[in-house]
Chain A
C-alpha cells in the first residue's frame, strides 16, 4: 500500500512545531543552567604568587565556618583602599561557599547606604567593611584595614597606606563573631563617672566601641561581689572620688584574674586610692598640668598634642598620628623597673610632644603666672597614656590595663577622630584582639613603573607602529598574491 502523501503546508507546520519545541527546550536548558550557576557558583583564586594570596590559616578557617557570613563593602570607588578591599573580598568569596559579598557605593547607592549607616552607625564620610554573621556584625574601619604613612598630611595631601591588613581584619572579625554571645564592657558607675545611654555625654565614643561587636553596660561596684563573668573589660571613666574598700577589692580581684581595665583619670578628682593602686602597677599619677609656652600672641597653651611612642601594636598602628587632649591634662610617670620583679610590664603609649612641660605650681600661679622652670618641672617623657601587662610575656591569661591621664577627651564635645581611634585601639588591645589572628599584613599592592623616556619611545614604535604594520603588510601580500 502506498504511503499517503503529506501536503507541504502540513509538513512545514510539523517542522515548525518541532523547531519551536526544540527551541523552547534549549531556552529552558539555558535558563536552568544560568539559574543554577547564579545560585551555586564557585570562585577559584589564582592569585598564588601574587602579592596578595589568602593565607592557609584563613582558608582552613573559612572551610570550617559553620554558618554563612556576609561582607558588606561600604566603600567609595575613589578610596585608595577600594581596590585591595574588593580583591580581598573576592578572595574570601572564592575560598568559601559560605561567604557572600555586597558592594555598596555610599554615593551611588544612597538608599542602601542610608540603611546601613543607620543600622551600623557609619559616619557620612566613612569607608568601612561590615562583617555580618548569624545576626551579629562587626564594622571594620580603614584604620583597621591598613597602616598609613601620615607624613603627606602635613602638606595637605592624603595619608598613604604602607600595608594592607584586610585579611587579618576580616578573619579576626569572623573569629570574634563566631562567639555566640557578645562580650560586655562594663562602665563603672557610682563615683561620679559619666553615664551611658541616651543622655550620655560620651555617646559618640560609646557608639564607636559598640561597633566592635561588644555590648556596653553600667556597673555599680557596690552592688556586686565580683565583676560579672561576661565582662571582657571594665572602664573607669573619670571617677571623681575613690570607691569604697569593698568596691576596690572587687576591682583588684578582677585585675588579678586576667582583668582588662581602661582607666581614664579625671585630673580634677580626689582619688588617692586609685592613684595609689596605679602606682603599685608602676604608673605614678603626677600632680601637675601640662602646658607649653609658644610665646608671641599665642602664649601659654593648655591643649596637649601627643605622639605615640613605644613598640606596642597600637603605637605602630598610629605612628605619626597626634591625638590632642583638651586643657587640664596631667602627666604620668612610669616606674617600670620598680614593678618588673612582680612580672608587671609598664610602657608608655602616648606622650606630650616636645615643648610641653608638667607645671606643678598650676594651682597657685594661674594661667598667666605659669612659667617653665627647668629645675622644678619635667619637660621630657610627659606620658599621657600608659599600658600595663601583668604575667609572663605573651601569655594569654595576662591582665591588661591602659591608663589615660585625662578623661575629658572622651566627651562628645571634645572627642576627635584621632582620640576615638586611639581609644578603640586601646579597647581592642585590652580584648587581645590584635593577637586573635596572627596573620601578617600584606604589602600594599602599589605598582610603580621605572621606565625611561627612551624605553617608552621604543615601546611606542613596537606596539603602535610595528605590530599593526606587520598585520597590514601580511594583508597586502595576501591581496597581491590573490590578484596574481
Chain B
C-alpha cells in the first residue's frame, strides 16, 4: 500500500509540477465558463423546459472540452517515460507492473476530477449572483457528477492505453483523440442514423454517453452506464498492463 501511495504521489507531482496541467485547467475553465455564461444569457431571454444544469452538460461546447482533455492529460503518462528512459529505472524498483498501471491511472483520474470540480462552483456562483437554484433537485447535480466520474474512468483508460503503445506523446495524443472521437460518434449515432430498428437503437443507447448524460443530469441514475464505463475501464487498464508485460518479455 505504501508503494502504491508513493507511486500515486509521484504521478500527481509529475502532473502538478508541470505548467501544462495549469494551462489545461485554465483552458477547460475558460471554455466551460464561456459555455455556462452563454447558457445563462440564453435562458434569461425566456422560460425553457430544461434547467441550467441540464443545458450546461448537453451542449456541443461541453462535449468538445470534455473529450479534448483526455489526450492532454494522458499523452505523457507512459510515452514520456519511455522516451526519457525513466520507465526502465522504474522497472528496477521493487514495484509490480499492475502497481504502475494503477498509480498512473489514479494520478490522471484524480487530475481529471480536479479539472471538472470547479464547474460545480459555477452553480454556486450562479445561485449567489442570481439568488436562484440552477437545478431543482440535488439528484440533478449528483447524477451529473457521478456520470462525469464514470465517463472519466473509461476515457482516462483510453488515454493510458494510447500512451503505453508509443514513445511519442503526440502520437499517443492522436491515438487517444481518434479513439475518443470514435466513441463520441458512436454516442450520437442513434440521433443521426434514420430508421434504425428498436433493437439497434437500444444497443446504441447502451453505449451513448450523450443519452447517459440526458438521464443522469435529470436525476435518473441507471445501472447500465455504471457497468459499461467501469468494465470498459477495467478492460483497457488490463490491456495497458498486458502491453507493459509485453515490453518486459521483449527485452
Interface residues of B in 104-138 (CB under 8 A from A): 118, 121-122, 125-126, 129-130, 132, 136-138
CA distance A459 to B32 in the complex (A): 13
Asked if B231 and A467 make an inter-chain contact with CB atoms under 8 angstroms apart, the answer reads no
A19 touches B49 (CB 8 A): no
* Contact A33 B231, CB 8 Å, known A46-B139, A463-B36: yes
In the bound complex, residues from chain A placing their C-beta under 8 Å from that of B245 are 15, 19
Interface string of A38-67 (1 = CB under 8 A from B): 100111111111110000000000000000
Instruction: Judge whether B3 is part of the interface by a CB distance below 8 angstroms.
Output: no
At the interface, yes or no: B218 with Cβ under 8 Å from chain A? yes
Instruction: Tell me if B44 is interfacial: C-beta within 8 Å of chain A.
Output: yes
Q: CB < 8 Å: which of A22, A444, A468 contacts B26? A: A468
Report the bound CA distance from A38 to B191 in whole Å: 20
Query: CA A154 – CA B71 in complex, angstroms?
Result: 54
Among listed A224-232, A409-417, A471-479, interface-contacting one: A471-479
**Is B227 on the interface with A (CB-CB < 8 A)?**
yes
A37-B224, A46-B143 known; A475 vs B232 contact (CB < 8 Å): no
Contact: A472 with B215, CB < 8 Å? no
Q: Are B130 and A450 neighbours in the complex by a CB distance under 8 Å?
A: yes
- Kindly provide the distance from the CB of B251 to the nearest chain A CB, expressed in whole angstroms: 10
Among listed A86-94, A306-314, A387-395, interface-contacting one: A86-94
Contact A47 B219, beta carbon cutoff 8 Å: yes
A471 CA to B226 CA, complexed, in Å: 31
B231 touches A34 (CB 8 A): yes
Asked if B40 is at the interface (CB within 8 A of a chain A CB), the reply is: yes
With A and B bound together, what is the CA distance between A94 and B218 in angstroms?
A: 12
Contact present for B30 and A111 (CB under 8 Å): no
Stretch binding the partner chain, chosen from B81-89, B169-177, B196-204: B196-204
Q: Do A468 and B33 have beta carbons less than 8 Å apart?
A: yes
Q: How many Å lie between the Cα of A110 and that of B25 in the bound state?
A: 44
CA distance A45 to B203 in the complex (A): 22
Across-interface contacts of B206 in A (CB, < 8 A): 34, 38
Interface stretch among A23-31, A353-361, A396-404? A23-31
CB nearest to A15 among chain B residues: B249
Q: Which of B129, B139, B235 contacts A459 (CB 8 A)?
A: B129
Complex Cα spacing A90 to B217, Å = 12
Interface residue B60 (Cβ < 8 Å from any Cβ of A): no
Chain B residue nearest in CB terms to A90: B220
**A472 & B26 in contact (Cβ 8 Å cutoff):** yes
List the A side residues contacting B122 at CB < 8 Å.
463
B231 touches A448 (CB 8 A): no
Chain B residues whose C-beta falls within 8 Å of the C-beta of A80 in the assembled complex: 49
Q: Which of B33, B40, B223, B227 contacts A451 (CB 8 A)?
A: B40
Cβ contacts under 8 Å, A43 to chain B: 215, 220-223
Q: Is the CB of B142 within 8 A of A46?
A: yes
Stretch of B16-24, B72-80, B159-167, B178-186 at the chain-chain interface: B16-24
Interface flags, A328-353, vs B, CB<8A=1, else 0: 00000000000000000000000000
CB-based contact A474/B22 at 8 Å: yes
**Are A109 and B51 in contact (CB-based, < 8 A)?**
no
- The interface residues of chain B lying within 8 Å CB-to-CB of A449 are 40, 43-44, 52, 130, 132
CA–CA, A49 and B219, complex, Å: 11
- Say yes or no: A459 contacts B194, CB within 8 Å: no
Given contact pairs A49-B136, A458-B129, A42 touches B37 in the complex (Cβ within 8 A): no
Give A454 Cβ to nearest chain B Cβ, in Å: 9
Q: Which of A26, A41, A112, A458 is the one whose CB lies under 8 Å from B198?
A: A112
Is A118 interfacial (CB-CB < 8 Å)? no
A277 at interface (Cβ–Cβ under 8 A)? no
**In the complex the two chains form, what is the Cα distance from A27 to B36 in whole Å?**
39
- Separation of A230 and B215 alpha carbons in the complex (Å): 43
Pick from A26, A50, A478, A482: contact of B139, CB under 8 Å: A50
Closest-CB distance, B115 to chain A (whole angstroms) = 9
Q: Which of B207-239 contact A (CB under 8 A)?
A: 214-215, 218-224, 226-228, 231-232, 234-235, 238-239
Please tell me if A155 contacts chain B, counting CB pairs below 8 Å. no
Whether the pair B23, A475 counts as a contact (CB closer than 8 A) is yes
Give the Cβ gap from A457 to chain B, nearest Cβ, in Å: 10
Q: How far is the CA of A30 from the CA of B228 in the complex (A)?
A: 9
Contact A444 B235 (CB under 8 A): no
Nearest A residue (CB) for B50: A83
Count, chain A residues at interface, CB 8 A: 69
From known contacts A471-B22, A482-B17, infer whether A41 and B224 are also in contact, taking CB-CB under 8 Å: yes
CA distance A27 to B231 in the complex (A): 9
Q: In this complex, what residue of B is CB-closest to A19?
A: B242
Q: From residue B151, how far is it (CB to closest CB) to chain A in Å?
A: 16
Q: Are A90 and B215 in contact (CB under 8 A)?
A: yes
* B118 and A467 contact, CB distance less than 8 A: yes
B37 touches A475 (CB 8 A): no
| Given known A26-B234, A111-B195, A455-B129, contact A471–B25 (CB-CB < 8 A) | yes
Which residues of chain B come closer than 8 Å to A29, judged between CB atoms? 231
Nearest-neighbor residue (CB-CB) of A81 within chain B: B49
Q: CB of A445 within 8 A of chain B?
A: yes
A12 contacts the other chain (Cβ, under 8 Å)? yes
- How many angstroms from the CA of A382 to the CA of B111 in the assembled complex? 74
Q: Shortest Cβ distance from A466 into chain B, in angstroms?
A: 9
| CB-CB nearest in chain B for A479 | B19
A108 proximal to B (CB < 8 A): yes
> What are the residues of chain B within 8 A of A23 when measuring CB–CB?
238-239, 242
Closest residue on chain B to residue A454 by CB atoms: B129
B249 A37 Cβ-Cβ under 8 A: no
Q: Are B27 and A468 neighbours in the complex by a CB distance under 8 Å?
A: yes
Query: Are B238 and A50 interface neighbours, CB within 8 A?
Result: no
CB within 8 Å of A: which B38-57 residues: 40-41, 43-44, 46-52
Q: How far is the CB of A175 from chain B (nearest CB, A)?
A: 23
A192 to B67, CA, bound (A): 70
A102-B198, A110-B194, A112-B197 as given contacts; A475 in contact with B22, CB under 8 Å: yes
Residues of A within 8 A of B33 (CB): 463-465, 467-468
A445-B50, A472-B23, A478-B17 provided; 9 other pairs, C-beta below 8 A?
A19-B246, A23-B239, A49-B138, A80-B49, A90-B220, A447-B43, A448-B43, A449-B132, A459-B37
Q: List 19 A-B contacts (CB under 8 A).
A: A27-B235, A33-B227, A46-B139, A49-B138, A51-B136, A80-B49, A83-B50, A86-B214, A87-B218, A87-B220, A90-B220, A456-B37, A458-B129, A463-B33, A463-B36, A468-B25, A471-B29, A471-B118, A472-B23
Closest 7 CB pairs of A and B: A475-B22, A46-B139, A37-B227, A463-B33, A50-B137, A448-B47, A468-B30
